[in-house]
Structure 1
Amino acid sequence: MSNRPQSTTDTTASVESSAATSSDTVAAKARKTLIPLLFIYMLGTLCLQAFNLVFQQVGSDVGAAGQASLITAVPGVVLGIVCFVYGSLCDFASLKRMTMFGLVLLWTGSILGFILHGSLLEIIIFRAIQTAGFQAAGSVYLVIVARYLHAGKKLLYFGMFTAAYQLATAIGVVCGGVFSAIDWSYLFLIPMASLIVVPMLLADLPHTTGRATHVDVPGFIIFALAVLQLTLFFSDLYWPLLAGAIATFVVFAVYIKRARDPFITPEFFRNTRWWKAVALMFLFYFTNFSITPLFNALGANVYGMTSAQVSLVLLPALIIATISGTSSGAIVGRLGRRTTITLGASLMFLGSLSAALCVLAGPVALTACIALFYGGMAMLYSPTVDTVLGTLPAEQSGRGVGMNDLAMQGAGSIGIAIFGTPIATNSLAGGNPVTNLIGASGAASNYTNLLLVYAAVMAVSIIWFRVNSRAIYGDSTADNGK
């Protein structure tokens, strides 16, 4: 048996082999956490959509019907902000610690929300804490898919993420309807089911990610404060909030220009292709948070339906949206991004316009109309996100994902803040050629007019996209972005 010293080459090869084995082990264990993480994300989304359905009832029960839309709007802003923060942190922080931190927030918001829900402020605070908690699992899921899965598997698990969101939305609407007839405070406890997956996450989540980097805490705080003030302004048009939002955005602009290492630089916002593309996400999802409460209020005030009955009427449309979302990748592969985006936006336009004309036609007709709307919205997500990220260099993709999520969630939050009042108070009731044509009056005319506004938003979205698509995609000959 030879006792010769091991050569440098042998030693290097051994170290590399050991590192590769260790990396493979981490990747294999990380993949085991995908379903548990997705389960947590679904519980949080389910809770979000359940409260979205019944926020009017919740607001009325605590004596704050006029500001009830903030129950959806403020957590929506929080969701957009933490999407950006978590995405940045995943570059260097421990995925295990981040997930467990999120779970602690989720459980804290759930328990305290169930115990303390006597005022609108308490409900908003604990819903925001819940929202900030569950999104950690969603962000870590996406990072693990991107970092540890092969290309073929990535498409499968990104598709599962989209399907999970749509399915959780469908179940959440049903839960909102059911619990509204019992006691809506029990909705706070739904995310506590996440306790069952903690052992798997503790055993298999990666503890470290590699490099360390700077976290621009002041930048995040200034930006978040500006967005929050802007959303609150749209809730009740309190003008000092708008002045505060503008002033804070100015402070943010000065900060990122002078800071040594800001989380985002002024050059990012000078990318014309990017802001034109991200405007699409804002326009497409402007009505996202308000469409479900609109139909809930319509069912109650026009047809005398309970929230539970409305949720069952909406369920087929949400199942169609689940199918549309999971099929969007195949649709893009066949039609290309431009055509798929145009098709999805057109379905949303037709859905809202036809619903406006069918307000008095009965719940079944409205279900068919809303299925067009939900199906089109689900179809839009993948090609629009791909379009937005395609306007950015690879080194800015993380910030691009975060800003995209913020635009989507922020748009929905501002939308519900604007539309929440007319949904609850019938302030848009009144006659016009369309309402006179279909014979709508009172509450029916209010919802007809709201749906016409939604159709107008989608018409503007389609026109914006068609006018700017050449600039967004960078040339006039791209084959639909395939």
Structure 2
Amino acid sequence: MSNTATVPATASADPWADPETSSSMAVKALIPLLITFILGTLCLQGFNLVFTQVGADVGAPAQASLITAIPGIVLGIVCFIYGSLGDFVSLKKLVVVGLITLFIGSIFGFVANFFFAANLWTVIIARVLQTAGEQVAGSAFLVVASKYLKPSLKVIFFGLFTAGYQLSASIGVFAAGILSSIAWQYLFLIPSVTIVFLPLLLKNLPDKQGNGEKVDWLGFTIFGVATAFLTLFFSYMAWWMLFVAIALFAVFAVYITKAAKPFVTPDFFKNKRWLCAISLILVFYFTNYFISPMFNAIGTTIYGMTTTQVSLHIVFAFLVAAAFGICSGGIVGKIGIQRALPIAGTLMAVGFIASGLAVNSGFVVLTLCACFFYAGCGLMYSPVVTTVLGTLSADESGRGVGMNDLAMNVSPSIGIALFSSLMGSQAFSGFSVIGASGAAASYSNILILAGCAPILGLIVFFAFRKKIYTEK
């Protein structure tokens, strides 16, 4: 009798309640999430490479950067929402909504732009839906990893995450280069197959409802809209958008002090260690979306290459990033976060500045320079995410992941909007430190300017290092 009495209790036990069991279950959930994230990011990086061509094909070359900038804004917002909701609602529900949205965006984008006249806004709407949907896998991955994995596995899986991102970027660039000569509309279909992973993810993801508190949708909305207007300002340089953003952030600041249960409290933003750490992401990732379209412009404008030829070169840089991402867990484990992070930042700065000095030295040399930048990107993710999340308590991990993702996507969205306008206007073509002229001079100076971002990141790191890594 006693044996039969214990069976239902064991069967109904929550496997996520035991640390050892939850870590094992987390690994089973993380693999399909990573594959889903890779396929979604593949599409994103493909459009990052060919957005200028797409803009020309739809008759809106001057607004082409919006194909990347607006989905980038949405990506930052949904990253923040998905990650933060991990503290409140079931990850299973988030995954269902996200993957269905991704599938709808993929089919709509292909059908609307392949069988009907391609239009800038049908491209943007489809990319927004895809972006909003695909990020559910990335955010769920980070929430599961930060909440349920054993500490010894966290750095490893953060490394695998950035390796997956860079691997998908390399495949995306390669696919975009090939499909650009056939029909870029096929890029939309690549992540549609992720819908087949839904049953497997539902089986392995935790069904916990977070802390049981009511979701603060009003707070999410105010913060999300404010962020959207801030990023749009840098795309359109319309000052009224900046004023609206500032006003909404002010409303949000007042709101979280008055609301009964805001999704984030004022104390969250009073955490000086977190503020110092998140500033590293804002600076280091500012130019993250920029190098692919810049190299595409250099290849086509200066060297007369096709986008396909450019992609065949850049793909090696992404593979280097994937390799460094895979090894980042071991590297961090061996030399420590405080050494790995500045090494990564130095590689990023060297990649940009060397590229600026080598604009006229041949595209193979430029590709080698890009390898330095992407090696830094591959190495950067694991130590910087571990650093930021290490400044927060366990019950704030979801919101920490959300804020990280928001910073990692909105900052480079602003960056690509600013640098794309500089590229298009040939603003720095009148002088050159390498003796170039015209477009070559402009591209050289812009790349050197972009190299200042990771240098600033290194300055911030060394200025705040003691504060960030000192416990309260």
TM-score of the aligned structures, taking structure 1 as reference length: 0.90
Following the alignment from structure 1 to structure 2, what is the Cα–Cα distance between the partners of residues 308 and 382? 31
TM alignment of 1:391-402, pairs within 5 A:
391-402=391-402
Call closer, same or farther: CA 1:22–1:299 in 2, change over 3 Å.
Answer: closer
- Give aligned pairs, total: 465
The answer for the alignment partner of 1:440 in structure 2 is: 436
The answer for the alignment partner of 1:306 in structure 2 is: 306
Following the alignment from structure 2 to structure 1, what is the Cα–Cα distance between the partners of residues 27 and 112? 38
Percent of aligned pairs with the same amino acid: 50
For the aligned residue pairs, the C-alpha RMSD in angstroms reads 2.5
Of 153-162 and 234-243, more deviation after overlay is shown by 153-162
Q: Deviations over 1:336-357 (max 9, x none)?
A: 2222111111111111111111
Following the alignment from structure 1 to structure 2, what is the Cα–Cα distance between the partners of residues 250 and 81? 18
User: AA paired with 1:39?
Assistant: I
Following the alignment from structure 1 to structure 2, what is the Cα–Cα distance between the partners of residues 426 and 286? 20
Give the CA deviation at 1:153: 4.8
The answer for the alignment partner of 1:271 in structure 2 is: 271
Following the alignment from structure 1 to structure 2, what is the Cα–Cα distance between the partners of residues 19 and 109? 38
Of 198-207 and 187-196, more deviation after overlay is shown by 198-207
Give the CA deviation at 1:96: 3.0
Q: Deviations over 1:217-259 (max 9, x none)?
A: 0111111111111111101211111111111111111111111
Give the CA deviation at 1:18: 4.1
TM alignment of 1:234-383, pairs within 5 A:
234-383=234-383
Question: What is the SS of the residue equivalent to 2:302?
Answer: helix
TM alignment of 1:213-232, pairs within 5 A:
213-232=213-232
Question: What is the SS of the residue equivalent to 1:131?
Answer: helix
Call closer, same or farther: CA 1:45–1:218 in 2, change over 3 Å.
Answer: same
Following the alignment from structure 1 to structure 2, what is the Cα–Cα distance between the partners of residues 466 and 28? 37
The answer for the alignment partner of 2:446 in structure 1 is: 450
Question: What is the SS of the residue equivalent to 2:466?
Answer: helix
Following the alignment from structure 1 to structure 2, what is the Cα–Cα distance between the partners of residues 394 and 194? 30
Q: Deviations over 1:305-328 (max 9, x none)?
A: 111111111111111111111212
Call closer, same or farther: CA 1:108–1:14 in 2, change over 3 Å.
Answer: closer
Question: What is the SS of the residue equivalent to 1:261?
Answer: coil
Following the alignment from structure 2 to structure 1, what is the Cα–Cα distance between the partners of residues 461 and 200? 44
Give the CA deviation at 1:16: 5.1
The answer for the alignment partner of 1:174 in structure 2 is: 174
The answer for the alignment partner of 1:461 in structure 2 is: 457
Bigger radius of gyration: 1
Give the CA deviation at 1:63: 2.3
> Does residue 473 of structure 1 match 2:454?
no
The answer for the alignment partner of 2:58 in structure 1 is: 62
The answer for the alignment partner of 1:89 in structure 2 is: 85
> Does residue 51 of structure 1 match 2:47?
yes
The answer for the alignment partner of 1:130 in structure 2 is: 130
Give the CA deviation at 1:145: 4.0
Following the alignment from structure 1 to structure 2, what is the Cα–Cα distance between the partners of residues 149 and 250? 37
Following the alignment from structure 2 to structure 1, what is the Cα–Cα distance between the partners of residues 435 and 23? 62
Following the alignment from structure 2 to structure 1, what is the Cα–Cα distance between the partners of residues 267 and 5? 43
Question: What is the SS of the residue equivalent to 1:303?
Answer: coil
Preserved CA contact (<8 Å) 1:75 1:124? yes
The answer for the alignment partner of 1:478 in structure 2 is: none
Give the CA deviation at 1:396: 2.2
Give the CA deviation at 1:281: 0.4
Following the alignment from structure 1 to structure 2, what is the Cα–Cα distance between the partners of residues 293 and 400? 30
Preserved CA contact (<8 Å) 2:160 2:325? no
Give the CA deviation at 1:380: 1.2
Following the alignment from structure 1 to structure 2, what is the Cα–Cα distance between the partners of residues 145 and 270? 25
Give the CA deviation at 1:75: 1.4
Preserved CA contact (<8 Å) 2:180 2:307? yes
Question: What is the SS of the residue equivalent to 1:402?
Answer: helix
Of 133-142 and 340-349, more deviation after overlay is shown by 133-142
Point out where structure 1 has 5 or more consecutive residues left out of the alignment: 476-482
TM-score of the aligned structures, taking structure 2 as reference length: 0.91
Call closer, same or farther: CA 1:236–1:347 in 2, change over 3 Å.
Answer: same
Of 410-419 and 466-475, more deviation after overlay is shown by 466-475
Give the CA deviation at 1:154: 4.7
User: AA paired with 2:244?
Assistant: G
Call closer, same or farther: CA 1:474–1:411 in 2, change over 3 Å.
Answer: same
Point out where structure 2 has 5 or more consecutive residues left out of the alignment: none
Preserved CA contact (<8 Å) 1:163 1:325? yes
User: AA paired with 1:351?
Assistant: G
